[in-house]
């Protein structure tokens, strides 16, 4: 991450996280990310012992700031396996077929929201 984007991230983290959180460490976490890289909310949650709701609120704020873009990654709830496809919300099909067990699954209920870095300047 370059300095303009990091300063936006720092400001947003300051607004979104409690005073008790280690905001410097969270900013350092983002420092290694570059445009086009995926950021998984679950990774941030585990690394910093954050509430998942707090993580999603932070990521939504970063999306509003133009740093991140949300995507949907479809996974099979039988196999617990990602089918490796991330799409924008309006590209999400009604259903998809798992390539392993061939179940036909409703897409929205079998997706997790992940984020892609879209700004780094």
Q: Which positions lie near Zn ion, rule CB under 5 A? A: 76, 78-79, 98, 100-101
Q: What is the dihedral of CA 28, 46, 61, 108, to 10 degrees?
A: 140
Output 37 or 100, the one with its CB closest to Zn ion: 100
Smallest distance, Å, CB 91 to Zn ion?
21
Calpha distance 47→25 (Å, rounded): 10
Calpha distance 93→89 (Å, rounded): 9
Output 37 or 101, the one with its CB closest to Zn ion: 101
How many residues comprise the chain? 121
Smallest distance, Å, CB 82 to Zn ion?
10
Output 8 or 98, the one with its CB closest to Zn ion: 98
């Amino acid at each position: 991450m370059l300095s303009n984007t990091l300063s936006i991230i720092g400001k947003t983290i300051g607004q979104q996280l409690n005073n008790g959180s280690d905001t410097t460490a969270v900013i350092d976490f983002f420092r290694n990310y570059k445009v086009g890289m995926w950021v998984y909310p679950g990774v941030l949650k585990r690394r910093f012992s954050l509430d998942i709701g707090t993580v999603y609120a932070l990521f939504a704020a970063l999306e509003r700031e133009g740093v991140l873009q949300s995507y949907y990654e479809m996974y099979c709830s039988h196999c617990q396996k990602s089918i490796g496809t991330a799409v924008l919300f309006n590209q999400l099909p009604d259903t998809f077929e798992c390539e392993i067990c061939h179940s036909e699954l409703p897409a929205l209920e079998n997706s997790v929201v992940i984020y892609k870095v879209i700004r780094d300047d």
